[in-house]
Structure 1
Amino acid sequence: MSYVFQDWAANKGNLKGRLVMVLFRLARPASLNKFLRVIWLPYLAFYKLFVEWFMCIELPHWTQVGSGFYLGHGHALVVNGCTVIGKNCFFRHSTTLGNIRREDGSYSGSPIIGDNVELGSNVCIIGEVRVGDNVRIGAGSVVVKDIPANSIAVGNPARVIKTLTPAKQSPQPELQEQ
């Protein structure tokens, strides 16, 4: 049961975030087992209808999301299902993590997000991009290149404006509104 509530404490005071993450954690096992997926089909349909259509949060159940995920404001979040998200991440509203459609019709890989990453609102991370651990990305940034660990990045295209020393970086970024 602790698996289902692994994001509960991170979303304290955030009922929508708690609800979405519990529903996501309940749906996630179906992506790991074909037999369970067939049995779980009615729940997966409910998840898609309720979370994606009604609550406007595209977080496919097969997405790999680490524990302690905080869903700030929980609206207009779009995550490609092949994205990997680390532990203790904080995503604000209107954030997109996706791949790129190439001229030949193929698609690039999806973003890989490290642990303790905080994204401001309206952040777009597009393509086969790696974001290191303990990174903060400012609101409205467009990330198309890798961001090294212990960095603060802003802009369009995003660029590192500050590198944090690991000794000064807390294990989990403060959860502050921007």
Structure 2
Amino acid sequence: MNFLAYLFQDWSANRGNIKGRLVLFLFRSVQLVNRNMLLKILFCWHLVLYRVFVEWHLGIELPRKLTAGKGLIVYHGQALVVNQGVVIGENCVLRNSVTIGHKKLADGTFSKCPRLGNHVDVGANVCIIGDVTIGDNVIIGAGAVVIKDVPDNSVAVGNPARILEQKTEAATRIELI
């Protein structure tokens, strides 16, 4: 993927969402800077700008070391916190007040971070905590607290999250068309 394609890989997914486009453009640019020590030195001002503007001013914590697939969508990003160890698949949606990260274990260590599959739609005020795997084509309802794995083609809601509905493969194919 060339330089410009990398920077703008989330652009079309965030059509009409100027804030989302700006935040994800800056996020992808700090990821590029983070790849090389020389770039980190030359563009340290950009890393500081990203931290101050996006994380402190806008309240969106997308760490530069985060692994996120193309087509990421950020709606109403206030209070969005994602741990740097999280892996986010392609074409995922994150809404406001979402927290995704590890949890502290009884022995004082931390668990692994969550892994989100492709086409995951995360509702507002959702917490996804601990070593969990969210499958592909999953919808997580607003206010859910996910502490266990969620299988592919599912809808999860509640605190703690439970599987409300599991879509069949035929229904999923129809929705994608």
Q: TM-score, normalised by structure 2?
A: 0.93
What aligned pairs does 1:94-109 form with structure 2 within 5 A after superposition?
94-109=97-112
Q: Is it true that 1:126 corresponds to 2:137 in the alignment?
A: no
After TM superposition, give the deviation of residue 171 of structure 1 in Å: 9.1
Preserved contact between residue 98 and residue 126 of structure 1 (Cα < 8 Å): yes
Offset at residue 27 of structure 1 (A): 0.4
- What is the CA distance between 1:74 and its match in structure 2? 1.4
SS at match of 1:81: coil
* Cα deviation digits, residues 99-136 of structure 1 (max 9, x gap): 11123221111010000000110000000110000000
User: In the alignment, which of 42, 45, 64 is matched to residue 42 of structure 1?
Assistant: 45
Any idea what the Cα deviations from partners look like across 1:120-156, whole Å, max 9, x if unmatched?
A: 1000000011000000000000000000011001011
**Residue in structure 1 matching 2:55, options 26, 42, 52:** 52
CA contact (8 A) 1:140 1:155 kept: yes
- Compared with structure 1, are the counterparts of its residues 170 and 50 closer, same or farther at alpha carbon in structure 2 (3 Å cutoff)? farther
Q: Distance in 1 between matches of 2:40 and 2:162?
A: 41
Deviates more, 1:112-121 or 1:34-43: 34-43
The aligned counterpart of 1:115 is 118
- For 1:157, the aligned partner's letter is P
Aligned Cα root-mean-square deviation (Å): 1.5
Unaligned residue ranges in structure 1 (runs of 5+): 174-178
Query: Which segments of structure 1 move beyond 4 Å, counting only runs of 4 or more?
Result: 170-173
Q: Percent identity?
A: 49
The structure in which a higher percent of residues are helix is: 2
- Report the alpha carbon displacement of residue 168 of structure 1 after superposing the two structures with TM: 1.6
AA at the equivalent of 1:167: A
**Structure 2 spans left out of the alignment, 5+ residues:** none
TM-score if structure 1 supplies the norm length?
0.92
Number of aligned pairs?
A: 173
